[in-house]
């Protein structure tokens, strides 16, 4: 009799909590998903209710396991992957969050960031944390909560409050308040973590006025964190990684030089740099990659694009020219070329490699004949152009990126994937299952309990699905890239 073991991945994203059950061949056995509320209290502010997130996560776990037909006692381990940077502060006695979680997209701390830049600490932040000073990361969000929620600072200093990113919050809840820990991939997104020394940085805590007693213990991404009860069975939680590092692992990018791009609401291109830290330059930042207990710390270079799939949602929800995201593909395919039209989706400024908060979105080159199909095409092409900008800076920073491994919702769009291969003159590979983010957490958890012996045992199971190969002549490519660059320049000087 063959003993099949299962691993459960809790994939807590920005808009929904999902749970995916994998078997030991890395195949998806069952999946469930629950959306939760997006709270926009003011222009540029984004919040979540952490209690709701936990409830939705639990509901998706129950549904996923129940419909799989798998007995909870056959689940060997649980892995958690999460939206990164989102900041939760709760009372350790009552378990109640003291305010809504501040979401990674929230720009409320832009002023705090400007003040920090004015104090001349940018180089220190880059050297210690691998990041740029930006409202995107957790540190200033935590400071904001301590400065603005009544009595928060006094309670934090007294040791009554705990801070965590969403992985840490879920782990604390799942273990009945016993374990207050996170993993290095999440810690590296707080702007409070000394990447090279591998510990919280006292000077950053000092600069942001954050009491050390509220911070979680930081561990590797694959080890025993604690136990949780799933429908009467005690199951070990043994894997934690932020969503992008989890996808890097789930795509099997274990060696230096291997890279993946996740095409979701935004796009995140990460290249594993092994045990060597890259520099914070050319718009790229440094982040901890997922590693197992006892292994040396590994790093990744990261480029973040804020609007990717979001531009397709915009076509659907604001312009109403498509009914579903998938429809953008058939419409783009109706036209032979872009008709000279470029769309730059700088809705919230531009992320890497430009990091320009003042840039605004625009469409260029329209004629009276420009129609919905061309707009769809220009929107999809904009995702590939932005990714190509990152590939370019990655290459000039010394990462060869021999091919691009793609995943995420918009990677299901074959027009986009072919255009990416063409415009970047590189092969684009898709995994058999697009669930790379959840799979990464499952692999990290399974490795800790021996479902998989080591990375080589996993590599053999990560079969590649479709491969897109470049099919565009160099002259055409240069012409299109020139048009894109001119459009970006215009958006940035608007």
Q: Give me the residues that bind ligand ADP (CB under 6 A), please.
A: 13-15, 264-265, 309-310, 312-313, 325-326, 328-329, 408-410, 412-413
Query: Which residue number, 70 or 170, has a Cβ lying nearer to ligand ADP?
Result: 170
Nearer Cβ to ligand ADP, position 270 or 310?
310
Give the contacts of 307 (CB within 8 A, at least 6 positions apart). 265, 266, 345, 346, 347, 348, 361
Q: How far is the CB of 47 from ligand ADP (least distance, A)?
A: 17
Tell me the backbone φ, ψ of residue 251, rounded to 5 degrees.
-90, 0
- Sequence-separated (6 or more) residues with CB below 8 Å from residue 185: 84, 221, 240, 241, 242, 245, 246, 287, 288, 289, 290
How near is the Cβ of 487 to ligand ADP at its closest, in Å? 20
Nearer to ligand ADP, 185 or 278 (CB): 185
Q: Which is nearer to ligand ADP, 62 or 325 (CB)?
A: 325
| CB 98 within 8 Å of CB 258 | no
- Rounded Cα gap, residues 245 and 363, in angstroms: 33
Please say which residue, 103 or 312, places its beta carbon nearer to ligand ADP.
312
Calculate the alpha carbon distances from 108 to 114, 124, 349 in Å: 12, 23, 15
| CA distance between the termini of the chain | 68
| Nearest alpha carbon to residue 249 among 220, 228, 284 | 220
- Cβ proximity to ligand ADP, 303 vs 408, nearer residue: 408
Question: Which CB, 75 or 379, lies closer to ligand ADP?
Answer: 379
Residue 403 near residue 418 (C-beta atoms within 8 A): no
> How many Å separate Cα 125 from the centre of its chain?
21
**37 HSE (CA, 13 A, CB side):** 12
Shortest spacing between CB 411 and ligand ADP, in angstroms: 8
Shortest approach of ligand ADP to residue 346 CB, angstroms? 16
Least CB distance from residue 74 to ligand ADP, whole Å?
Answer: 28
Q: Which residues fall within 8 angstroms of residue 374, CB to CB, at 6 or more apart?
A: 335, 338, 339, 341
Q: How far is the CB of 105 from ligand ADP (least distance, A)?
A: 11
175-205 burial string, b = 16+ CB within 10 Å, else e? beeebbbbbbbbbbbbbbbbbeeeebbeebb
Nearer to ligand ADP, 246 or 287 (CB): 246
Q: How far is the CB of 422 from ligand ADP (least distance, A)?
A: 17
Least gap, CB of 179 to ligand ADP (angstroms): 26
Beta bridge partners of 193: 200
């Amino acid at each position: 009799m063959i003993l099949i073991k299962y691993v459960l991945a809790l994939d807590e994203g920005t808009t929904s909590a999902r749970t995916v059950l994998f078997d030991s061949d890395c195949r998806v056995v069952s999946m469930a998903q629950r959306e939760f509320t997006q709270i926009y209290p003011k222009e540029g502010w984004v919040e979540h209710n952490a209690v709701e997130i936990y409830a939705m996560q639990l509901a998706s776990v129950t549904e996923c396991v129940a419909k799989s037909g798998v007995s909870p006692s056959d689940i060997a381990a649980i892995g958690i992957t999460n939206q990164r940077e989102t900041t939760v502060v709760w009372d350790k006695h009552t378990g109640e969050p003291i305010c809504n979680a501040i979401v990674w997209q929230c720009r409320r701390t832009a002023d705090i960031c400007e003040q920090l830049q004015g104090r001349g600490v940018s180089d220190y932040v880059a050297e210690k944390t691998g990041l740029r000073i930006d409202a995107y990361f957790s540190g200033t969000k935590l400071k904001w909560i301590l400065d603005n929620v009544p009595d928060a600072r006094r309670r934090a200093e007294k040791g009554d409050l705990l801070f965590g990113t969403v992985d840490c919050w879920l782990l604390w809840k799942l273990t009945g308040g016993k374990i207050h820990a996170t993993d290095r991939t999440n810690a590296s997104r707080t702007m409070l973590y000394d990447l090279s020394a591998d510990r919280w940085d006292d000077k950053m805590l000092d600069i942001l006025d954050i009491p050390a007693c509220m911070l979680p213990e930081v561990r590797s991404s694959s080890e025993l964190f604690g136990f949780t009860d799933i429908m009467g069975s005690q199951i070990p939680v043994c894997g934690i990684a932020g969503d992008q590092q989890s996808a890097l692992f789930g795509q099997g990018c274990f060696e230096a030089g291997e890279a993946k791009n996740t095409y979701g609401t935004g796009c995140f291109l990460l290249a594993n740099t092994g045990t060597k830290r890259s520099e914070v330059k050319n718009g790229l930042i440094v982040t901890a990659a997922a590693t197992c207990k006892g292994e040396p710390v590994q790093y990744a270079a990261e480029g973040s694009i804020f609007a990717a799939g979001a531009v397709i949602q915009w076509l659907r929800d604001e312009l109403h020219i498509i009914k579903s995201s998938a429809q953008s593909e058939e419409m783009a395919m109706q036209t032979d070329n872009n008709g000279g039209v470029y769309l730059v989706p700088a809705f919230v400024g531009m992320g890497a490699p430009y990091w320009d908060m003042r840039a605004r979105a625009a469409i260029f080159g329209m004629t009276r004949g420009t129609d919905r199909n061309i707009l769809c095409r220009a929107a999809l092409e904009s995702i590939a152009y932005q990714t190509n900008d990152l590939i370019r800076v990655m290459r000039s920073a010394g990462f060869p990126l021999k091919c691009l491994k793609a995943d995420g919702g918009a990677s299901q769009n074959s027009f986009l994937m072919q255009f990416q291969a063409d415009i970047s003159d590189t092969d684009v590979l898709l995994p058999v299952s697009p669930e790379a983010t959840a799979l990464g957490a499952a692999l990290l958890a399974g490795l800790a309990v021996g479902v998989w012996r080591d990375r080589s045992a996993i590599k053999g199971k990560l079969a590649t699905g479709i491969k897109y190969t470049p099919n565009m002549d160099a002259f055409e490519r240069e012409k299109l890239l020139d048009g894109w660059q001119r459009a970006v320049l215009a958006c940035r000087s608007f």
